[in-house]
Each structure stands twice: as structure tokens, then as C-alpha cells.
Chain A
Amino acid sequence: MNTKSGAVPSATTKRRARSKLQSDWWSKSIAGAVLGLTLALALSGLFAWIGPGGIDAPDKRQFVMWSIAPLWVIAFSLVYLIPTGRRALLTMGVLNVLAYGLLFFVKGALG
């Protein structure tokens, strides 16, 4: 995926980009703030369906709502560990697709 990235960097900068953590504030922050939040929603949704008690457990909706906040900010704070901003967006995007795919599959199967 790295071959497609950036505006024609030289071989040395590319190597450095791979080995060293880049700041890339805007792309990483967007990956964390937006894609982190949507990922948290999908994960808490999965928990709602296949977590203990299933979708109809009494009072579970409150707990599911609460779980969005920690999932979101944990993803948000760890997204900066991904080497580059582009990779961060890509990683979070793929995780989102997987999570929502699973969520809609589970929802269709159990709902």
C-alpha cells in the first residue's frame, strides 16, 4: 500500500517513513475522531447482539450506549501508533468495513 502513497518521495524518505512514526496530525486525528467513533458504534452493536444476554436483555441498551465512549477514545488514542496517516485511515477504514459487515450479518441472522 505504501507504493501508492505520498507525492513521489525519494527512496530514503520512503524507508524512513516506514521505520519511523510520522505525526500526520490531520489524517490520524480524522481517523481517530471519525472512524474511531463509527468503529466504536459497530463494536458496541456487536456486543449488543452477541454479548451476554443478547439483544433483548433488560437494561442492556444503557450499558451498550456507555460502551461507545471507551471504545471510541481508546481507538482514538492508539491510532497515533500507526506509522503514517494514510495507513491509519486505511486501517481504521478496513476495521470499520469488517465490523459493520459482521454487525449487519449478525443482525440479519438473529434479528
Chain B
Amino acid sequence: MKVRSDILKVYRSLHTWVGITTGLLLFIGFFAGALTMFKQPVDRWISPPEQRLPWVDTAQLDSLVALTLQQHQDARQEFSLYPIEREDLAAPIQWSESGGGRGLKLSEARNIASLDAQGQLVTESLTPSLFGELVDMLHRTGGIPGDFDGEYVGIWILGVAAVLYFLALVSGLILLLPTLVKDFFALRRGKNNKRFWLDAHNVVGITSLPFHIVISLTVIVFAFHDQFYDALRDVVYPVSAPPANTAPAPAYSADRLLPPSELIARARTEAPDFAVTELLYLGLESSRPFVRVSIYNPAALVHGPVTGYMGMNPYTGELLMTSMLPGKAEGWGAIVNYFFALHFGSFGGDLVRWIYFCLGLGGAFLFYSGNLLWIETRRKKLRKTDTDIPRQPRNLRWMAAGTVGVCFGSIIGICLAMAAGKWASGLAFNINHIYLWVYYFSFLLTVTYAFWRGAGRATWQLLAACAASCVLIPGTTLVAVVAPASGLWANTSAGAVAVDATALGFALVFTCAAIHNRKRALHGGRDSVWATADANAGAEPKSNRVDASAGSEEVTA
């Protein structure tokens, strides 16, 4: 397909600018987003067994709720009930002293309770580990701290980045159109590494284009839905009459709640193929009591990241909300469910989660390779007539250092924070603060190191550091198994073991990449930001050319 050259020129500049300004932020978003696909297994891996209370069977849930509400006034507004045991859950019933509310509260104590063998209520208070939630927050904010008017600033910044990212997708597609047929699926190793990176960038981009379109559009909506709704209300919709003031709201007393077993049975009749994983009771003694029932079936298309939802009145069992009930939603609501499911990858069980995991990492690769291509395009090449190796411009060296620093820094930060979740659990007053400190400290340290040492040397060293921090995850499990006296623990559910295996696999990949990059840094073309600055002492340009072609490494023009 032919595209006019002036159009290509404009869209090439557009692609470059939006790519270079948002690439690193989106890398973090995509990498952390890939991890959130397995948020629950990661929480299973990390959660300490000594903080867990024994579980109760469904028949005992009724007396558990009744006893809790009798003995604990602070549970009478809001609490969560978990009928099914999981390693990442501390107890079958949990509530917070402040009476709940939304948002991530890192320091808040949770009260948890269960029944002992005699049917007596046992209660404890703890600050639960929120590692999965923090990875999710990193995914949504890119790690940019701060909030404004109750909204996270990082979410808005990622919303803006998502708009630019859509422009990058369109412009990238337009750039590819003239050579789409020829280049499609071509992965030319050739003697020119830039060609290889460009081919890889194009193949990943074009094959996952639908995924990327979905992600960019949903991120815009997730960031700005409040503003969009406000604008629609003000401009489009007719002024709605204030709700008719009906009879005084009935006063509810938490003592008259329907037993949870009845609510569960009710949910089962509505959604026979689903397991009830959580009942979240809200505003129990207010005029609008509500229980949000989470229902789980790995194969179903659902509204939430993991589960679908339905809403009931906890006193009457009346069905209040079915729009997020899989298969029950109709018309427009059903279509909106697809948008959510397509972002969360929550429509085909673990298989789709793995596919989304790979697509997320593929997206991260897209931004990483985009930055590399930017650098290679502007690289000052060694010409035959040069006697000295050309020094690469400062903006290239900084971009290279920033790229490896930010990308590998986020990887190292997450892995170290995860390992610290076990190693520091005995010392920590609040493990969630340890996660934050370890993540930001190692992230900033990595970025600083990359700028200090330069991309040439830092790249392979940081890749080695990535490998080492990944190994720490299964390594911690190994120590826990071999030396239980260390105070570490190993959870043995399939999910937790899969986390160890995946981390080990990534450690191998990073090791290979580190070896490959070290070779390039020391023996590759000298006229590159990826060459170590001091290794070329005495090396003749000519011998470099030989090296380069022999190792199919950087090529000199």
C-alpha cells in the first residue's frame, strides 16, 4: 500500500515524539500489569502462614457472623466474609476498625476472626500484606506518588500517556503500511542489528495491535471516567428530578441480617456454575445496606479482574444489582462488561491469563525496543575515514542510561520487594512500608547507577542484577525448605510453586541476556552507546569491524 511521503514524515515525527515521552512510563505500567495477572498467586507465595486463623465450613459461617456482630461493634457497618480458604487470606471474616472505605490503606489494622474447635470466636488484629495491591498500584500509577482530591496523580498521568500511546499505535501502523506485506513476520537477523530490532518491534506491534488498542482505550476510560460522566451529565443528559422523598428509610439492625448461608444459596441459584468467594457487606446499619457477592468461575467472562459480582440486600436477599453478573447482563450493560473483561483478561481462566501475561511483557518489549531504535537511528557511526571512534552525543547516552535504568530498575525493585516480604517479615513493624522502601530505593539506585556508569557497562551488570533478584524468589523458598529454622516459610499450593518456577525461568533469560550484552559491550562495535567507554583502549577501529561481523553484533557502516 502506498502512502504519500509527506504523510509518512509527519507521522514518523509523531511516532517518535509520543514514543519517547511515554515509553518508559508505559514500560512500568505494562510490566507491572503483566504481573497483576497473577496477583493472587504472588500473594499466596508471600503470605505468612502464622498469621492465618483456622477456616470454618459453610455451615458454621452463620454462627461466625452472628458471634462477630454480637461481640464487635466495629464490625456492624462493614465486613468481608470469605467462604473458601486461600493462602492469601488470613481468616474467613475480616473488618477494619475505621469501618472500611475505599482506597489502599497500608497501615490500617484489620481485625480477623474465626471459630475454634469448640465453636468459640477467636479474634486477632494484624496489618495484612498488600503486596499484590501494591503491584497493582504500580501498574496503575507507574509508581508516580501523590494524590490530589482523593485521586492518584499517577493514574491521570498514565491516562494522558494512554492517549499519546494511541497516537503512537496509529502513527506506527501508518508507517508500517507501505511495507506491511513485505515486512510482516519477517525477522531479519542480517548483519545489521538495527534491522533485527525494527523487525521485532514491528512484528510484536502488529500482532498484538488489537490488545494494545483495547488497553489504551480502557486506560483512558479508567483514568477519566469521572470527568467523562460529569461532562455527559452537564451537557448531554436532561436534568434529572431529585429522587422523590419517600417514607423514612427503614432502620436496619445488624442483628436481623439474613444468615450468610442463605445469601450464598441465593447466589448459587442465580449463578449455578460459580463459586462464591467473597461477601462484602457495606453500610449495614445505614438506609441502603448492600452486600456485594463475588462469584468465581475461571472459564467465564466476568466484569472484575478475577470475579463477577452481584448485589443483594443483606436483610431480605433481594437482588439489587445484576449488571455485573455474567450471562445475566443485557443490552448495553453486557457490552460494557466486555470492555472490562478485555482489559483484565478475565474471560478464559489461566490460559487467557498467561496469554495476557505474555502480551503485557510484549508491550513492555515494544517500549524498550522503541527506545533502542530511537538511539540506533541517531547513532554516530564510524566512517572509513575516521581515525578516532566518534563519541556518541549526550542525549543518546542519557536516553540509553535512562532506558536501562528505569526498565531494569522496576524489575529489580519488584523482585527485591517481594523477597523482602519474607526476609524482613520478622523485623518489620509494617511489611507494606518495607515493600515501598525496597522498591523505590532499588529503583532509584539502579537509575543512578545506569547514569553513573553509562549504558555500555551498566546494561549487562544490571541484567545480571535482574537475574540475581529473580533467583532470590525461588532461592528464598529453597532456604525455607532446607532450613526451617531460618524463620522463612514456603507455601506449597500450585500457584505459589508456579511463582517460583516463573521467577527461575526469568532468571535464566536475564542471565543469557547479561552474557550476550557483556560480549557486545566489550567486543561489539565501539561506535555505540552500548560499548564500555574504557574497553576500547588500544583497540583499532579495523579489528572492531572484524569482531562485529563475526559475532553478528553491532555493525559499522
Contacts and interface: CB of A to CB of B under 8 A. Distances in A.
Interface of A: 20-23, 25, 33, 41-42, 44-45, 48-49, 53, 55, 57-66, 68-70, 72-73, 76-78, 80-81, 103, 107, 111
A42 B224 CA distance: 17
Given A21-B9, A81-B7, A103-B236, 12 more contacts: A41-B232, A41-B236, A44-B236, A45-B235, A58-B330, A59-B331, A62-B333, A63-B336, A66-B336, A69-B217, A73-B166, A78-B170
A111 B228 contact: no
Interface stretch (B10-18, B52-60, B79-87, B310-318): B10-18
The 7 closest A-B pairs by CB, nearest first: A45-B236, A59-B333, A77-B170, A73-B166, A21-B6, A63-B332, A69-B220
A59 B336 contact: yes
B296 to A, nearest CB: 23
Interface in B52-84: none
B167 A48 contact: no
B217 A107 contact: no
Interface in B216-245: 216-217, 220-221, 224-225, 228-229, 231-232, 235-238
A60 B6 CA distance: 42
Contact of B220 (A22, A61, A73): A73
Contacts of A70: 217
A25 B220 CA distance: 22
A21 B220 CA distance: 29
B163 interface: yes
Contact of A55 (B235, B238, B331): B238
Contact of B331 (A42, A57, A66): A57
Question: At the interface, is chain B mostly helix, strand, loop or mixed?
Answer: helix
A40 B329 CA distance: 26
Given A21-B4, A65-B221, A65-B229, A73 B236 contact: no
Contacts, number: 100
B238 A107 contact: yes
B11 A80 contact: yes
B237 A55 contact: yes
B96 interface: no
B237 A53 contact: no
Given A21-B10, A76-B163, A66 B339 contact: yes
B323 interface: yes
A65 B225 contact: yes
B335 interface: yes
Contacts of A61: 229, 232, 237
A58 B221 CA distance: 20
5 contacts: A41-B228, A41-B236, A59-B332, A68-B228, A77-B166
Contact of B238 (A33, A81, A111): A111
Contact of B332 (A33, A42, A45, A60): A60
A19 to B, nearest CB: 9
A65 B332 contact: no
Contact of A64 (B14, B232, B333): B232
B442 interface: no
Interface string B312-356: 000000000001000001111101100100000000000000000
Nearest to B333: A59
A6 to B, nearest CB: 18
